[in-house]
Amino acid sequence: MIIPSERVIDDMDLCIVFSNAIDNAINACDFVAEREPYITISAVQKGQFFMIEIENSCNKEQKKESVSGIGLQNSC
């Protein structure tokens, strides 16, 4: 993945978003039993938008019974 040196997002905010999303993907892979777990990460900047896509092998919708973290609130 190539992240442009001139970004539309602050370095710290970018780290927070990546960390949160990757942590969620890793946790979701804990639910994969029938095949090898995987995580695919891609990012692209188009104009004023920086888009991140993180895909994992979990196809199960997780039902949260409680809040486990502060999520993206810490990047605001």
Rounded to 5 degrees, φ, ψ at 20 are -65, -50
CA angle 65, 70, 73 (to 5 degrees): 130
Write down the pLDDT at residue 35: 81
| Angstrom distance (rounded) from CA 35 to CA 59 | 11
Residues 6+ apart with CB under 8 A from 54: 21, 22, 24, 25, 39, 40, 41
Q: Is the confidence at residue 76, as pLDDT, over 50?
A: no
pTM tops 0.75, yes or no:
no
pLDDT, greater one: 1 or 41: 41
**Within 13 A of 27's CA, how many CA atoms are on the CB side?**
11
